[in-house]
Chain A
Amino acid sequence: TRLAEGTPRRSIQLSNIVEQRIFNDNEIISTPKRSRSKLADEVVDADYTPKKSSQKTPTRPRRSSTTKQPSATKLKEQAPLTPSQKLKKIRSGELSPSMEQREQPVDERRKSQLQLAREQLHVSVVPKSLPCREKEFDNIYSFLEGKIQDQCGGCMYVSGVPGTGKTATVTGVIRTLQRLVEKDELPAFDFLEINGMRLTEPRQAYVQIYKQLTGKTVSWEHAHTLLEKRFTTPAPRRVTTVLLVDELDILCNRRQDVVYNLLDWPTKSAARLVVVTIANTMDLPERLLMGKVTSRLGLTRLTFQPYTHKQLQEIVTARLAGSEAFKGEAVQLVARKVAAVSGDARRALDICRRATEIADTADAQPGGMKCVTMLHVQQALAEMIASAKVQAIKNCSRLEQIFLQAVAAEVTRTGVEETTFMGVYTQIETIAAFMGVALPAPGRALHLCSKLGAERLIISEHSRHDLYQKILLNVSADDIHYALRVESN
């Protein structure tokens, strides 16, 4: 049953889903956690609570609220919350979203070496220190440390193709800096993080930033005014805020007001905001952003080059960390193949993991130890890099193969890439007569065409245009030739 059925005036459905997740169907979580760290709360209370004028110590209301909460939850257990009450609590950040827990994770000691290697090779296991990114680490570190020490604001633009360790390096620097703060070797700072791809709309960035500051969810207009107030009015004991903006190009809309605001706040002296922006393209500021936005972004830039094969090899070996699950030359093969294509570390790790899976299913060697060899890696590479188009053509039915041949023949005959179904059908007639197979009726051939179109071997229109629909070949003519010739031999 739906939770929202009782309250017709609320039509927000996403929150219902959240509720179901949290409450597991009407079961109430008794201890609402505080979602924000202590640091953030201090900042919030210092600037935001309206009681600030009346109360000098910002800690008191919080403490009172924590003492209140247990009793409140007791009450709640007696009378379950209505959905609107739950929604209110979620919006004010008093309930933290949690996930269902499984009973018990698998015991660590039972895992084989290959399994351990596979876990180590997972993309999500970010190592403490990224290999081959020391220079970039130093660069970002010195920039951020300088800004925090000087207590001023600034911007930095980090770019590079996907999988070159941009976000990992930046968050690694932040973690190092936070450790320094704990040791009192650096002034305290506040770290916020938004990702353009996690926002439905650029303006939702305000909501996310404000949510990370206070834990409250408000409308974007409100969040914008509150953030504007915070960053423009000077306040004593304001700490530096480091804002990481991932996928900057998604935040660029036509007006570019969000990007402008995010890059304009650091220029205010009261803000003490350091913005680190990450994107893929190197020339994004010049190509996409307006002049005033590019100007505010500044010239502090850093480009992450794609990994070379040596670096990829180093990364994978660092992940494996002394495990003997991989042969040295196997890692080298992966590194060379991936570096030649994209230099993407994720890709290299994924291929290595696939290779461990293949080795796992393969028969154990006489030595008893399972190990990833060159053969396994080659198989994994063939799976993950090689195109499946030739296989698809080989596995087509006879008439579908004739259809593909006919499209290729029509393209050679007319010299134009785009053919019509009518021309293709005359070619089918010829080929079918030549091969001595029965000619499919045009309706049947349309079915073949739509099947091939759904498999993306050709690109076709809706079949309502029947004889006049346009057909493009989506595979190369050589692929068809190769697939059909090799098969017949």
Chain B
Amino acid sequence: MHPLNLARNAGSWPQLIESKQMENICAALEPQFPCRESAISTLAELIGDCNETYPPAIYIYGHSGTGKTSLTKAFLQQCQQQQKVRTAQLNAIECYTTKILLENILDSLSQEHSEQQMGTESLRADNMLEFVEQLRRWHGSNARGFLIAVDNAERLRDMDANVLPVLLRLQQLTGLNLCVLLLSQLPFEKYYNKTGLTEIISLHLAQYNKAETLRILSSDFDQMRRQMLQQMKEDQLQLAEQALTPDFYSNYLNLFLSVFYKACRDVPELQLTARKCFAIYLQPVLDGSVECTDVSRLWRHIAGPLRAALTQIYMRIDKPLGEPAVEDQSVRKLAQSLELPYYGKFLLIAAFLASHNSAKQDKRLFVKHHGKQRKRMQTVNARAKNVDKMSTTLGPKSFSIDRLLAIFYAILDEKVGLTCNLLSQISTLVHLKLLSFVSGEQNIMDGSAKLQCTVGLDFVVHIGKVVGFNVRQYLCDFM
């Protein structure tokens, strides 16, 4: 150590203790949160020691799955256990009024307080003024510091206009050693209001890079191994114990990340999928068909299932990964499994045609004897230019109920009466969210209501196949 440094430390005895408190917290947290050493030490420097003055507010931001909430939660717990600090952790989504927010904070800050004195009765705070006054009463209580963490802090912008400014300077208003931690996925630039905010210390939790992700994923190797071995049968146990080494697992994770890292960097999501795929990876080893050191053959085995799993990422469906789920098939399955009545299906097709064809073309498409139409060079050129602006890709346009019924009668060969059953099916389709109202929801009966079809082309084509109707034939885009 530098002699000057040493002298300074020796001169101020409390500083040694303080730094020890900080170190305690760091030491407790760093094993829990690998690759977050710098963030933990920054937090510990700022609010690690309750004998020092806290900063008024800290803003912690980063992508989802970077450990904002869990890190803050663990940090606050450590602070509460090791020091005389009272903490409160809450979610701004839960607090849809200011009163709930304030009383939640008061309740969790005064936990031990209320147990001794007031029993189970919770403190009341109807507005900010009362909240600040309640906090001011805690001057001279045994707590040395107060930490408040608000998750999903972007919701604070939508609450009463005074909530965010007051929280940012709560330390100044109450005079307590208090720090407000705000957690969100947005940068703080999105918070400035018209009247200005006080300064805040920002702490960015950057997304993990590939090496860090690998380290985090492999950190739970022991737990995973235990779980695996518990599930094994007697005859495989020997092989499995041999195969399950850290090297083997990290090899697997390397293969896994080479497929998945491009699509997803969300650690919880990766963790979930890695667990699922590992059983398949281990299968040939347990069978004895592949040596556990033969990486290239293992890769050939796992590559297919991994790609299949990649299509299911973020879906959180518990499905066996063996069968490849082609997207086309799933749409077809959905279309076939949708149990609509016969006319309902035709109504849906009619609605699709109405929202993806322009009304000008209706006469040509659906009227039997519409007369001759000359092919103009102009229209051909116009269509050639806008080939990527097909109406099926641009999204649905709105149509009236009259037009829907007209197309319905045109595409349906038989003549059915316009009964209330038919009309009620339109409203059923709206309830099922296959159609939606664009405007005029109040005046459906006078015909000014506008509808929109909200299903895709594939879906309608499959429904068309079910009833034996070629949808593409009636779409302008495919002519």
Contact = CB atoms under 8 A, between A and B. Distances in A.
Interface of A: 442-443, 446-447, 449-451, 453-455, 460-464, 466
B187 A463 contact: no
Contact of A464 (B157, B195, B196): B157
A466 B194 CA distance: 13
A454 B189 contact: no
Contacts of A460: 194
Nearest to A463: B192
B195 A463 contact: no
B189 A453 contact: no
A466 B196 contact: no
Given A446-B189, A463-B189, A451 B194 contact: no
Contacts of B187: 443
Given A462-B157, A464-B157, A447 B194 contact: no
Tell me if B's interface is mostly helix, strand, loop or mixed: loop
Contacts of B191: 463-464
A453 B157 CA distance: 17
Contact of A461 (B190, B194, B195): B194
Given A462-B157, A464-B157, A453 B190 contact: no
B245 interface: no
Given A443-B187, A462-B157, A463-B189, 12 more contacts: A442-B189, A443-B189, A449-B192, A450-B192, A450-B193, A450-B194, A450-B196, A451-B196, A453-B194, A454-B194, A462-B193, A464-B191
Contact of B190 (A449, A454, A455, A464): A464
Contacts of A442: 189
23 contacts: A442-B189, A443-B189, A446-B192, A447-B189, A450-B192, A450-B194, A450-B197, A451-B196, A453-B192, A454-B194, A454-B196, A455-B196, A461-B194, A462-B192, A462-B193, A462-B194, A463-B189, A463-B190, A463-B191, A463-B193, A464-B157, A464-B190, A466-B189
Tell me if A's interface is mostly helix, strand, loop or mixed: helix
Nearest to A469: B192
Interface in B178-219: 187, 189-197
Interface string B350-381: 00000000000000000000000000000000
A415 to B, nearest CB: 26
Contacts of A466: 189-190
Contacts of B193: 450, 462-463
A450 B193 CA distance: 7
A464 B196 CA distance: 13
Nearest to B157: A464
A462 B196 CA distance: 10
Closest 9 CB pairs of A and B: A454-B196, A450-B192, A463-B192, A443-B189, A446-B189, A464-B190, A462-B193, A454-B195, A453-B194
A451 B157 CA distance: 17
Contacts of A446: 189, 192
A99 to B, nearest CB: 23
A449 B194 CA distance: 10
Nearest to A451: B196
Contacts of A461: 194
Interface residues of B, number: 11
A460 B197 CA distance: 14
Contacts of A451: 196
Interface in B160-174: none
A463 B189 CA distance: 7
A399 to B, nearest CB: 15
Q: Which of A453, A455, A461, A463 has the largest number of chain B CB atoms within 10 A?
A: A463
A63 B189 CA distance: 72
Nearest to A462: B193
B136 to A, nearest CB: 14
Contacts of B157: 462, 464
A464 B192 CA distance: 8
Nearest to A461: B194
Contacts of A462: 157, 192-194
Nearest to B195: A454
A467 to B, nearest CB: 11
A220 to B, nearest CB: 26
Interface in B140-180: 157
B117 to A, nearest CB: 15
Contacts of B190: 463-464, 466
A70 B456 CA distance: 89
A144 B466 CA distance: 94
A463 B191 CA distance: 6
Contacts of B197: 450
Nearest to B194: A453
B61 to A, nearest CB: 12
Nearest to A444: B189
Contacts of B192: 446-447, 449-450, 453, 462-463
A457 to B, nearest CB: 12
Q: Which of B189, B191, B193, B197 has the largest number of chain A CB atoms within 10 A?
A: B189
A481 B316 CA distance: 60
A460 B157 CA distance: 16
A442 to B, nearest CB: 8
A325 to B, nearest CB: 42
B123 to A, nearest CB: 14
B165 to A, nearest CB: 11
A438 to B, nearest CB: 18
A449 B196 CA distance: 10
B446 to A, nearest CB: 34
A453 B193 CA distance: 9
Interface in B225-239: none
A443 B188 CA distance: 8
A106 B187 CA distance: 57
A337 B45 CA distance: 58
Contacts of B195: 454
B194 to A, nearest CB: 6
A453 B190 CA distance: 15
A454 B197 CA distance: 9
Contacts of A463: 189-193
A462 B194 CA distance: 6
A432 B189 CA distance: 21
Q: Which of B189, B192, B197 has the largest number of chain A CB atoms within 10 A?
A: B192
B129 to A, nearest CB: 11
A446 B193 CA distance: 11
A234 B293 CA distance: 114
B155 to A, nearest CB: 12
Nearest to B158: A464
